[in-house]
Structures are given as C-alpha cells and as structure tokens.
Amino acid sequence: MKSETALLGGSFNPVHIGHLNLIHDAYALASMDKIVLIPALISNFKQGSKPLDFDVRLHLLKLAVLDYRQMFPSDDVDIEISDVEMKRGGISYTSDTVRYFLSLYGVEKINFIIGDDLLANLEKWHDYPYLRDHVRFLCFVRDGKISAPDGADILFFNNDKVVSSSSDVRDGDFSMLSKRVRRYVEDNGLYRA
C-alpha cells in the first residue's frame, strides 16, 4: 500500500488541542500515514507578530506529540517535526516549503492540511499558482461554509469542531492546551501578561 504524507504548517504559537485533533482527523478521515509538522519562523501573514522563540515552540510541539500518543493511543501515524523553515531563515512561505518537500520525497504533488477558515484567502498565498499546481489541500470543514478558489485540488473532510485557538491561549485560556504543553507553559510563565 502506498504511504501518504501530509504537511501541517503554522506558527504553533502555541500548539493546542485543535492542532492535535487535526492530526487525528488527517489520519482517521484522510488516511494519512505520516504528518509533518512545520513551525514557521516568520509567518508571511503575521510578519508583525512576536511569537515565542522558535526553539520554545519546537519544544512545545515535541511535548504535544507525546500528549497526542496518549490522547489517540490506537493511531498508527508517523508524526515528524521539521525545522526546515528555521534553517531556511526569513519569511516562511508555504511555496518554498512545498518545493523543499517535493524535492525531498521525489514527488510532483504533496498533501497540505488546512482548516476551512483559510480557504477565503488561499489565492492570496505567496506564489499561489505554484501551490495550486503542486498541492492537494486536505481541508477540514468546521463551520460548513465552503468557498474554494477555482482550479485548486481540494479534498474536503467534515470534522468535529474543537473550539480552540492560539490567540485565546495567549490571552490566558490554558484549557485548550494538552497536558504536557500546559504544564510547560505554566511552569515557565509563558503567555502571561
């Protein structure tokens, strides 16, 4: 059987249970065998933001993967964390990351996980024509409103809505964090005003 890999990028500032549920849904609903988590160094759409240091976000992702294994013990999905965007430096453009993984895996198209909240601005992504031709978007629908750009290769999956957002965590709601991530955030006084 052919192995299927999907990329999941983002600021992960911080990683929360919504992200972990996306991984589970990509495995359970989209039959992905491997998920590559790719934290952005500097997000193209959040260039003015000041996320936690990359190394801290990377560490939180590692803790979240451990939590994932406890949350979904029967999932046989390979989860990898890539620091490619940190090594490349500068603004993290999805198109550059896609080029890297296409070359790494020797394929012409790759799966990329998104939530339906990103669909409306998909055509505004840097080098969108390249992405349209080389990415199969795995879109997880939460609010039922689907407006997709013409010509994009998009597979839609309904998933349970988990109300969680990184901005709420940064505002002090730690209930959206998995166990190890929450402990680290609290023990180190992260996201405190």
Look at residue 132 and tell me if it is in a domain.
Answer: yes
Q: How many domains does the chain have?
A: 1
Span 45-61, average pLDDT: 82
3-state DSSP call for residue 13?
coil
Give, to the nearest 10 degrees, the angle between helix 54-71 and helix 17-28.
50
Q: What is the pLDDT of residue 46?
A: 62
Span 110-132, average pLDDT: 91
Looking up tokens 């996201």, which residue turns up? 191
Q: What is the pLDDT of residue 6?
A: 97
Residue 2 has pLDDT above 70, yes or no: no
Q: What is the pLDDT of residue 47?
A: 55
Report helix, strand and coil shares of the chain as percent, to nearest 5: 45, 20, 35
Look at residue 173 and tell me if it is in a domain.
Answer: yes
Residue 48's domain is classified under what CATH number? 3.40.50.620
Band of residue 1 on the pLDDT scale cut at 50, 70, 90: very low
Q: What is the pLDDT of residue 7?
A: 98
Look at residue 193 and tell me if it is in a domain.
Answer: no
Q: What is the pLDDT of residue 28?
A: 94
How many other CB atoms sit within 10 Å of the CB of residue 87?
9
Report d(CA 90, CA 99) in Å as an integer: 16
Q: What is the pLDDT of residue 184?
A: 96
Rounded to 5°, angle at Cα 100 from 95 and 85: 75
Is residue 8 within 8 A of residue 57, CB to CB? The reply is: no
Give, to the nearest 10 degrees, the angle between helix 179-187 and helix 54-71.
150
3-state DSSP call for residue 110?
strand
Higher confidence at residue 8 or residue 171?
A: 8
Share of the chain above pLDDT 90, in %: 67
Q: What is the pLDDT of residue 71?
A: 97
Report d(CA 29, CA 159) in Å as an integer: 8
Residue 17 has pLDDT above 80, yes or no: yes
Higher confidence at residue 42 or residue 17?
A: 17
Look at residue 192 and tell me if it is in a domain.
Answer: no
Burial letters 104-125, b for 16+ CB under 10 A, else e: eeeeeebbbbbebeebeebeeb
Q: Which domain holds residue 27?
A: 5-187
